[in-house]
Amino acid sequence: MLKLHEYAGFTIVGVFAIGWLWPLGAWIVRRGPGELYWRWLTVVQVLVGLQTLFGLWLFLVDGLRAGTLLHYAYGFFPILLLVAAHWVARQMVAPPEPDEEGETPLRVRPWVPFGWVAFFCFGLSLRAVMTGLGIG
């Protein structure tokens, strides 16, 4: 199970890298990332969930402990950030109310928070892998 947790960690780092480079490219060319981006989001959430289950198994069943408490924080914060991105994206989808002058304010596209979250989760996941391997 330990090797599975390790391989899943490397995979998640790569998937989060794709998840922030993709919207960055979409922003540069001034287009949306497309429907496939939402499938990426589904895949990354399933992978994070599986990785959490692997980690809980190692902790609760196998009795293994990480060398530092930071490993747990780095592994837990991506879950919180993904939940926050969902909340923010839902706020952006709601139709905006006109201001006093009758103009409708601009809204950021709903994929933008996920791009930012993927950027931060890439770093957090990379640090989780590094602390799990005893690097840094």
Tens digits of per-residue pLDDT, 39-87?
999 999 999 999 999 999 999 998 888 888 888 888 889 999 999 999 9
Better-scored residue on pLDDT, 24 or 93? 24
In a domain? residue 57: yes
Confidence check: pLDDT of 104 > 80: no
Structure tokens at 90: 């839902």
In a domain? residue 120: yes
In a domain? residue 34: yes
In a domain? residue 119: yes
Structure tokens at 57: 């198994």
In a domain? residue 99: no
CA triple 112-30-79, angle to 5 deg: 15
Better-scored residue on pLDDT, 131 or 102? 131
Domain span holding position 121:
2-91+109-132
What is the pTM for the complete model shown? 0.81
CB 102 within 8 A of CB 28: no
Q: What is the average pLDDT across 83-103?
A: 77
CB 120 within 8 A of CB 81: yes
Q: What is the average pLDDT across 100-126?
A: 83
- 95 phi, psi to nearest 5 deg: -65, 130
Q: What is the average pLDDT across 20-49?
A: 93
In a domain? residue 115: yes
| Mean pLDDT of all residues belonging to the chain | 88
State how many domains the chain has. 1
With b meaning 16 or more CB within 10 Å and e meaning fewer, what string describes 67-77? eeeebeebbeb
CB 47 within 8 A of CB 16: no
